[in-house]
């Protein structure tokens, strides 16, 4: 499907309403995936924006609406730091959600970042994804939902402007050196992201408004290259992040 057909933009009045929208998306997508194929395979995003979403998912009423015994959790990107580092996306999600719900430990798939090279970590993570999806080598695993954020520079996951990871076509996960941060990241690649059934950006705040408008207008920034082949891309925005969008971009809802 082309972008215009498979893209939906939802704007909510403030960050709290936006978080509620993201929580409901998680619950609804989990329910339909589990009903359809007995499992919900999701990739969580990192950074600051999703933390309150994860905290709400760990609390009632949302928590009781998800069959956590059937949820498989991966990470759409990870900083190459130890799992107990304050920078770790795994640590953030584990503190906010994963340690607070009855998800089987074997269904939580953190990126290996200790006593391993970034490249080895990326290939091990990719093998782990394929094992869970029991995917043939020639098929790209299709996540039920991939959550993504967007930076003020238009990066998403750890696909930053001007970095080698943007070019990956044969891998599902790559080690990506980010000179802007002088650090290594592990990230899903566009082929894996664009194989998903649903990709949802959750973006808030006026600092990102210009970039959101630029990306949705079709720039070549990394976030603009998220265009699922057979899936849907949702942009969940608060009014502040949507402030520069022209009227035709805003959904009726």
Positions touching ligand 6PG (CB under 6 A) are: 45-49, 77, 79, 89, 149-151, 155-158
Cβ distance to ligand 6PG smaller for residue 41 or 155 = 155
We find the least distance from the C-beta atom of residue 75 to ligand 6PG, in angstroms, to be 8
We find the least distance from the C-beta atom of residue 138 to ligand 6PG, in angstroms, to be 28
Q: Which residues contact 4 (CB under 8 A, 6 or more apart)?
A: none
Which class for 154: exposed (0-12), middle (13-18), buried (19 or more C-beta within 10 A)? buried
We find the least distance from the C-beta atom of residue 19 to ligand 6PG, in angstroms, to be 12
Cβ distance to ligand 6PG smaller for residue 108 or 212 = 212
Q: What is the DSSP string of 152-214?
A: TTS-BTTB-TT-GGGG--S-SEEEEEETTTTEEEEEE-HHHHTTSSEEEEEE-SGGGHHHHHH
Cβ distance to ligand 6PG smaller for residue 101 or 226 = 226
Residue closest to ligand 6PG when measured from CB atoms? 149
Cβ distance to ligand 6PG smaller for residue 65 or 118 = 118
Cβ distance to ligand 6PG smaller for residue 1 or 207 = 207
We find the least distance from the C-beta atom of residue 151 to ligand 6PG, in angstroms, to be 4
Three-state SS string over 215-240 comes to HHCCCCCHHHHCCCCCCEEEEEEECC
């Amino acid at each position: 499907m082309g972008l215009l057909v498979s893209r939906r933009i939802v704007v909510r009045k403030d960050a709290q309403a936006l978080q509620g929208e993201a929580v409901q998306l998680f619950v609804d997508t989990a329910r339909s995936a589990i009903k359809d194929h007995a499992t919900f395979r999701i990739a969580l995003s990192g950074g600051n924006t999703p933390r309150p979403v994860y905290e709400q998912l760990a609390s009632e009423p949302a928590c009781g609406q998800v069959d956590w015994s059937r949820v498989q959790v991966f990470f759409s990107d990870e900083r190459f730091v130890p799992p107990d580092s304050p920078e770790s996306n795994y640590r953030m999600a584990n503190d906010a959600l994963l340690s607070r719900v009855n998800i089987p430990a074997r269904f939580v798939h953190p990126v290996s970042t200790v006593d391993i090279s970034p490249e080895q970590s990326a290939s091990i993570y990719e093998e782990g994804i394929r094992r869970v999806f029991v995917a043939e080598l020639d098929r790209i695993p299709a996540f039920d939902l991939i959550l993504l954020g967007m930076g003020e520079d238009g990066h998403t996951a750890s696909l930053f402007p001007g970095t080698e990871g943007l070019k990956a076509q044969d891998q599902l996960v790559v080690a990506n050196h980010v000179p802007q941060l002088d650090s290594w990241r592990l990230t899903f690649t566009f082929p894996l992201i664009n194989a998903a059934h649903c990709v949802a950006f959750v973006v808030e705040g006026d600092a990102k408004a210009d970039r959101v408008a630029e990306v949705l207008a079709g720039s070549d920034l990394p976030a603009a290259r998220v265009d699922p082949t057979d899936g849907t891309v949702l942009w969940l925005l608060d009014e502040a992040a949507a402030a520069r969008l022209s009227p035709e971009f805003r959904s009726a809802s």
